[in-house]
Structure 1
Amino acid sequence: MTGVGQDVWNLVADVLAGACLLLGAFLAFSAGVGVLRFGHLLARMHAVTKPQVLGLILLLLGVALRVRSWSAVAMLALVVAFQLLTSPVAAHMVGRAGFRTGKVRPEDLEVDDLTDERAG
């Protein structure tokens, strides 16, 4: 593409990149507010993992749209994949450790599989 078509594509990509960056920053901010605002471990853990992962994905998508380099996009895709693989595992381990140390109130749980597991 050359000329006007390339200029339009650049403008659209820049606007989409800006929107992704702003939305990703807002989600990361909301995760921080959730950590400060929510009272117990499981609610804080949920507030950190869900919007933080989506926020990071949107931020990296915005960077990819802005940079427009295939090598950078490949690296950003690796970061997204690593985040998607490690965040649920880390949240699970934090929740399990919190349960084992008594930081999770049993009345906050709808199903308590860990008590049966520890007793057996």
Structure 2
Amino acid sequence: MIIDVVSAVLILTGSLLALTAAIGIVRFPDTLSRMHAATKPQTFGMILVLTGTFIRLNGHVDGGMLILTGLFTLITAPVVAQRVGRLVYREQSLGDEVIDEGDFTARRE
């Protein structure tokens, strides 16, 4: 009975975080803000949902797949966010004719 309550609380909390991430993606004005909304609460929400599901399964064979799914999310989400953020930064910098100090290829017109 207590396990069911803990599982339900984790799943509902994770679902609410994923919902706020979706609302943030729609409502935020620029790409960097949207990227933050897409990575931070969505990843944490998914981990909470997976944890609640893992507790509810209670030793089922699919528990290992839930752990792998959570690890894959934790590994890939920061990498994707970093790549998107770098792309947006470079696009904005090149549009304003600002040269990044770490970039050795300057765009000239």
Q: TM-score range by the shorter chain?
A: 0.7 to 0.9
Q: Deviations over 1:80-101 (max 9, x none)?
A: 1111111000000011112222
Is 1:94 aligned to 2:54, yes or no? Answer: no
Which residue is 1:82 aligned to?
72
User: C-alpha displacement at 1:72, in angstroms?
Assistant: 2.0
Residues 26-105 of structure 1: pairs in structure 2 closer than 5 A: 26-102=16-92
- Structure 1: state its 5+ residue gaps: 1-10, 107-113
TM-score of the aligned structures, taking structure 2 as reference length = 0.84
* SS of alignment partner, residue 117 of structure 1: coil
1:76 corresponds to which letter in structure 2? L
Which residue is 1:5 aligned to?
none
1:64 corresponds to which letter in structure 2? F
User: C-alpha displacement at 1:119, in angstroms?
Assistant: 4.5
Is 1:115 aligned to 2:105, yes or no? Answer: no
Q: CA RMSD in A?
A: 2.1
Provide the rounded CA distance (Å) in 1 between the counterparts of 2:40 and 2:14. 12
User: C-alpha displacement at 1:71, in angstroms?
Assistant: 2.5
* SS of alignment partner, residue 21 of structure 1: helix
The total of aligned residue pairs comes to 102
TM-score of the aligned structures, taking structure 1 as reference length = 0.77
- Identity across matched positions, percent: 37
Over 3 Å off, 4+ runs: none
- Structure 2: state its 5+ residue gaps: none
